[in-house]
Structure 1
Amino acid sequence: MTESEFLALADETLGAIEAALERAANDSDLDVECSRSGNVLEIEFVDNGSKIIVNSQAPMQEMWVAARSGGFHYKRIDGQWRNTRDQSEMYASLSKMVTEQGGIAVVLSGNA
């Protein structure tokens, strides 16, 4: 994939994560605030002040996630973002991270 294709996909991915979190907040008691600056999405949990940061790394063609549980790298494989260590899917992993940090069970999906 070219760099411009990656950047478009990364932008779409960050937008999908933000939209999924907005839906989750509207459908539950999850209290999050998302802010986006370029290729960085900051997810702040209002109740406890913790954050999850999701950003794209164009040189590596990866999405990186930093959360309380650690730092994770995801590469596009067969149409999904897969963890470079254990092959877990990014939205499933983010669901666990958001549930853990937000204190409310959340299932995120990349579908708009």
Structure 2
Amino acid sequence: MSNPTQPTVEEALLRLRLDADLVDDVANAIPQARAQVESYLKGPLCADAEAVAAAIAAGSRNATLCTPDVIAAQLLFVDVLVGSNDIQAQESKRTAAYAMLKPLRYMGI
């Protein structure tokens, strides 16, 4: 069963136009990308409002509802980790991912 708070390997391969022979690299990069997002947002990603409420009840001040823009930011981080990017492209993608996440950083939505 897939985790709704992170992209699937198939989604990453398709949306990032990566070769299928990178499937293992992508599979390893997805949890890393999710961890980068959770670290930046300073809290867990949650699949739905009930999960956000449960995380808050458990003491997380910054639980964030995982929306399509959060998935898109994770995909950018995956691309940085496994795509064939030069340093400038990597930095550009990181900057874009953080820009997508910045409005959510302290909102805890």
Give the TM-score range, shorter chain.
Answer: 0.3 to 0.5
Return the structure number with greater helix share. Answer: 2
Larger RCO: 1 or 2 (CA < 8 Å, sep 6+): 2
Structure whose alpha-carbon radius of gyration is higher: 2
Return the structure number with greater strand share. Answer: 1
